[in-house]
Amino acid sequence: MENKFSRKTKELKPSATLLINKKVSEMKAKGEKILNLSVGEPDFDTPAFIKGAAIKAINEGFTKYTDSSGIKELREEISKKLFKDNNLLYYPEQIIVSNGAKHSLFNIFLAICDEGDEVIIPQPYWVSYPEMVKIAGGKPVFCRFNNEYKIDIEHLKSLINEKTKAIILNSPSNPSGIVYEKDELKTIGEIILRNNIFCISDEVYEYYIYDGKKHVSIASLNEELKNLAIVVNGVSKTFSMTGWRIGYLAAPLSLAKVIGNIQSQTTSNPSSISQKAALSALSFNLKDISPIIREFEVRRNLLIKNLNEFVQFIKPQGAFYLMLKIGNLNSLQLCEKLLDEEKIAAVAGDDFGIENFVRISFAVKTEILEQAIAGINRLAKKYG
Least spacing, CB of residue 11 vs ligand GLU, in Å? 18
Using CA atoms in the order 355, 357, 359, 365, what is the torsion angle rounded to 10 degrees? 180
Say whether 303 sits in a helix, a strand or coil. helix
Say whether 289 sits in a helix, a strand or coil. coil
Of all residues in the shown chain, the one whose CB is closest to ligand GLU is 40
Work out whether 135 is an interface residue with ligand GLU (CB under 6 A).
Answer: no
Work out whether 46 is an interface residue with ligand PMP (CB under 6 A).
Answer: no
Strands (E), the chain: 35-36, 95-98, 118-122, 139-143, 164-170, 198-202, 229-234, 247-250, 311-313, 321-326, 344-345, 347-348, 358-361
Least spacing, CB of residue 300 vs ligand GLU, in Å? 16
Task: Determine which residue in the list 36, 69, 107, 174 makes contact with ligand PMP, applying CB under 6 A.
Answer: 174
**CA gap 178, 320 in Å, rounded:** 11
Least spacing, CB of residue 208 vs ligand GLU, in Å? 12
Partner interacting with residue 217 (select from ligand GLU, ligand PMP, none; CB below 5-8 Å by kind): none
Partner interacting with residue 15 (select from ligand PMP, ligand GLU, none; CB below 5-8 Å by kind): ligand GLU
Contact assessment for residue 249 and residue 111, using Cβ atoms and an 8 Å cutoff: no
Please identify, using beta-carbon distances, which residue of 136 and 197 lies nearer to ligand GLU.
136
Task: Build a one-symbol-per-residue string for 45-84: x at contacts with ligand GLU by CB under 6 A, - elsewhere.
Answer: ----------------------------------------
| Total site size for ligand GLU, rule CB under 6 A | 11
Least spacing, CB of residue 227 vs ligand PMP, in Å? 23
Task: Determine which residue in the list 177, 234, 260, 270 makes contact with ligand PMP, applying CB under 6 A.
Answer: 234
**CA gap 225, 7 in Å, rounded:** 35
The continuous run of DSSP H or E covering 118 comes out as: strand 118-122
Work out whether 174 is an interface residue with ligand GLU (CB under 6 A).
Answer: yes
**CA gap 81, 340 in Å, rounded:** 45
φ and ψ at residue 61, rounded to 5 degrees: 75, 25
Partner interacting with residue 277 (select from ligand GLU, ligand PMP, none; CB below 5-8 Å by kind): none
Give, as ranges, the residues between 240 and 269 that touch ligand PMP (CB under 6 A).
Answer: 242, 247
Measured in residues, the chain has a length of: 384
Task: Determine which residue in the list 15, 264, 312, 330 makes contact with ligand GLU, applying CB under 6 A.
Answer: 15
Work out whether 236 is an interface residue with ligand PMP (CB under 6 A).
Answer: yes
Work out whether 122 is an interface residue with ligand GLU (CB under 6 A).
Answer: no
DSSP state of 342: H
Work out whether 17 is an interface residue with ligand GLU (CB under 6 A).
Answer: yes
| Nearest to 365, CA basis, from 310, 313, 296 | 296
Q: Euclidean distance between the first and final Cα of the chain, in Å?
A: 46
